[in-house]
């Protein structure tokens, strides 16, 4: 690493056009307790990083039930993405991000 500079890798959302239109059911459920959350367009990676907080906040709701079902899979993917980024294996991190999107597609279908 340089003495005065560093490289960073960031996972940013890239929805067409936003979270609310890409995952309308998820956004609706997220917005029940925090109306501004869907408007901030958090990435799925960011949401997964906050999964335990989301489970606590949405305990006893349909969203809480569905997130709990996928909790282990999402946490493992998040950890794998972090490790891949730390190892600078960005192609592998991207594959894990695709897998995370697949899980969120399943979540969206269950929230229908």
Give per-residue pLDDT as tens, 3-55.
999 989 999 999 999 999 999 999 999 988 787 776 789 999 999 999 999 99
Alpha carbon distances (Å) from 44 to 3, 6, 100 = 33, 25, 7
* Length of the chain in terms of residues written: 112
**Model's pTM, two decimal places?**
0.91
36 touches 42 (CB < 8 A): no
């Amino acid at each position: 690493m340089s003495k005065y500079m560093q490289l960073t890798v960031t996972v940013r959302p890239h929805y067409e056009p936003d979270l609310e239109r890409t995952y309308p059911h998820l956004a609706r459920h997220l917005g029940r307790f925090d109306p501004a959350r869907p408007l901030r367009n958090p990435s799925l990676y960011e949401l997964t990083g906050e999964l335990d907080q989301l489970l606590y906040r949405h305990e006893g709701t349909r969203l809480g039930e569905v997130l709990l079902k996928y909790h282990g899979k999402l946490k493992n993917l998040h950890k794998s993405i972090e490790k891949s980024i730390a190892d600078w294996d960005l192609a592998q991190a991207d594959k894990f991000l695709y897998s995370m999107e697949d899980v969120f597609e399943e979540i969206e279908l269950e929230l229908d």
